[in-house]
Structure 1
Amino acid sequence: MKTLIIIPAFNEEESLGPTVSRLTSTVPDADYLVVNDGSNDGTVQICRDNGYPFLDLPCNLGLAGAFQAGIKYAYRHGYDCAIQFDADGQHLPQYIHDLEKAVETSDIAIGSRFVNQPKGNSLRMFGSNIIQSAIKITTGQVIHDPTSGMRAFNKRIIKMLALDLNMGPEPDTVSYLIRAAHARVVEVPVQMAEREAGESYFNWKSSAKYMLRMTLSILFIQFFRKSLDGDAA
């Protein structure tokens, strides 16, 4: 399977080098692409100095926009699998092959922290539970870790994500693809590390807005989007 690991990076000069080093030493056979999302630190210089393959976006698009830029690259270069992988060191590369294997028989594989482990009692986990419930209500499917950013997509989904501007790699898109394109979604048990350095895309205020936006989108907005039955085969 021809796999591209997409690494969106915003102000990750401290974390990017160690993250890429762990990735390439663990899965040396996989291609990867750093997407510099308009960083204002030394992220792009780290890429240049180390010879990392990268896209340099001229302005900050946010996580969804940066990942979609990588997805368009994956589509144009004929990749069979695209994997979203954080630049901050939280995602562990030893699970890459498990995700690849999962999308051999499914459309989307989510690296899940909570298949075999309970969630905590934080505000973020409360939001995750709300999104999980919204997905179950609208699709009938239980996704234990809907906000996990470690996701793999097969060739069929890569095409959909690349060609539709409204297809960010988010829980509402996953919910929509289950319902409208009959996407087969599986969860792969993973563990994740703590962020070591750098600047997160989310703070507590933006996280709360994100959870609310995702829930409203899953429950209401996605039902106004077109059916994808013709693309389901």
Structure 2
Amino acid sequence: MTEPTNADRVLVLVPAWNEERNVGATVREIKDTGPQFDVVVIDDGSTDETAAVARAAGAVVLSLPFNLGVGGAMRTGFAYAQRLGYGRAIQVDADGQHDPADIGRVLAGLSRADIAIGARFAEVGDYSVRGPRRWAMVVLAKVVSRVAGTRLTDVTSGFRAANARAIDQYVRYYPEEYLGDTLDSLVAAVHAGLTVTQVPVAMRPRAFGRPSQGPLGATVYLLRSSFALTLALMRRAVRRPGEESPI
């Protein structure tokens, strides 16, 4: 019996910034989920022991020299996946909120689309968001749903899987700016001809640490997310003469 190639395996990408208290448990839980999963932690310029803890838990660690944000970390991860010939890749956050038990469900969405999103607002679990942040998420989902030609309820979820076509697209274009890793990369992928679906998942609370956004942050999120989506939609139409489109 021949050994499976990377095209038959799944690369789990875990972006992490100062997550030494969470990343070890996350890596071990992913590895316990199935032997077909290879785990890569992208240490995004952490100043704590994130890299050492992840490596001790059994992950391959790609260390960035300074903090690039989730977009920069994920583009690094997708470049690694492409270089090693993986047929599928999935993002799982280091903080423990994405349940590794749902990885298989999200990956199953790739049977009908190039990108599968683990949606937090699809009648599974009790995850809820209120106020300006929730309003922004609803509006963003409606606009991107029209662009994608399918109903999506959670376009800012980072729990998403990509097939080989999507991996190649993300290597070509995966922005580092605010919400670029979710909104802009998704809109760009759709404009490039890729298809999107969603799978309902339940979110868990962070094991350690606190969410980064309070009431003021939620209001800022509303404004920044609207701006980010506007830029994503305009990017396809506005290019410099002779510039090759990233999408």
TM-score (ref. length: structure 1): 0.86
Contact 1:89 1:196 in 2 (8 A): yes
RMSD of aligned alpha carbons: 2.4
Identical pairs, percent: 33
The answer to whether the aligner puts 1:215 opposite 2:229 as a matched pair is yes
1:8-27 equivalence runs, <5 A:
8-27=15-34
- Superposition deviation, residue 28 in structure 1: 3.0
- Superposition deviation, residue 148 in structure 1: 0.7
Q: 1:143 aligns with which of 149, 152, 157?
A: 152
Report 1 or 2 for greater relative contact order, CA contacts < 8 Å, sequence distance ≥ 6: 1
Structure 2 vs 1, CA of residues 100 and 165 (structure 1 numbering), >3 Å: closer, same or farther? closer
Q: 1:62 aligns with which of 69, 72, 77?
A: 69
Output the CA distance in 1 between the equivalents of 2:116 and 2:102: 11
Output the CA distance in 2 between the equivalents of 1:187 and 1:45: 34
Output the CA distance in 2 between the equivalents of 1:2 and 1:210: 37
Contact 1:63 1:201 in 2 (8 A): no
- Counterpart residue type for residue 173 of structure 1: S
Output the CA distance in 2 between the equivalents of 1:105 and 1:139: 14
The answer to whether the aligner puts 1:176 opposite 2:188 as a matched pair is yes
1:186 is aligned to: 197
Give deviations 1:28-57, integer Å, cap 9, x for gaps. 321110000000111122134444211011
Deviates more, 1:84-93 or 1:101-110: 101-110
Q: 2:137 aligns with which of 128, 131, 134?
A: 128
2:3 is aligned to: none
- Counterpart residue type for residue 77 of structure 1: L
Contact 2:27 2:57 in 1 (8 A): no
Matched residue SS, 2:185: helix
Contact 2:44 2:68 in 1 (8 A): yes
Segments of 5+ residues of structure 1 without an aligned counterpart are 229-233
1:34-45 equivalence runs, <5 A:
34-45=41-52
- Counterpart residue type for residue 185 of structure 2: T
Contact 2:89 2:167 in 1 (8 A): yes
Count of aligned pairs between the two proteins: 227
What stretches of structure 1 move > 6 A for 4+ residues in a row? none
